[in-house]
């Protein structure tokens, strides 16, 4: 395996996105096709495995490619009144 997973960063994709870029980011990180990731989320949702919940948590925790901080971290920093640097 030539790729070093230690140097990769799990982040939402700005280019491979259907809704928020979560599946595209997971696909880029793992090397799996983003369509397969989307299908897996849909199957988990239909089977009752909380696919929607996991997707929302990932959206909150994964920073976008163009951002340094996750959405949740930005919300917390704004709530605390600290300036958010990108």
The pLDDT score that the predictor gives to residue 86 is 53
Global confidence as pTM: 0.79
Q: In terms of residue numbers, what domain contains 64?
A: 10-80
d(CA 6, CA 31): 14
Tell me what the mean pLDDT of segment 16-20 comes to.
90
pLDDT band at 83 (very low <50, low <70, confident <90, very high): low
Q: How many domains does the chain have?
A: 1
Residue 2 has pLDDT above 70, yes or no: no
Residue 4 has pLDDT above 50, yes or no: yes
Q: Which helix (H) or strand (E) holds 78?
A: helix 71-80
- 4 within some domain: no
- 3 within some domain: no
Backbone angles phi, psi at 59, to 5 degrees: -60, -40
d(CA 24, CA 64): 11
Q: State the average pLDDT for the chain.
A: 87
Q: Which of 33, 19, 32 lies closest to 64, judged by CA?
A: 19
SS3 25: helix
Residue 3 has pLDDT above 60, yes or no: no
- 5 within some domain: no
């Amino acid at each position: 395996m030539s790729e070093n997973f230690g140097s990769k960063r799990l982040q939402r994709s700005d280019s491979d996105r259907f809704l928020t870029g979560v599946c595209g980011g997971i696909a880029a990180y793992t090397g799996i096709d983003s369509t397969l990731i989307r299908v897996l989320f849909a199957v988990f949702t239909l089977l009752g495995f909380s696919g929607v919940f996991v997707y929302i948590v990932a959206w909150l925790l994964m920073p976008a490619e163009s951002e340094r901080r996750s959405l949740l971290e930005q919300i917390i920093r704004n709530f605390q009144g600290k300036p958010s640097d990108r």
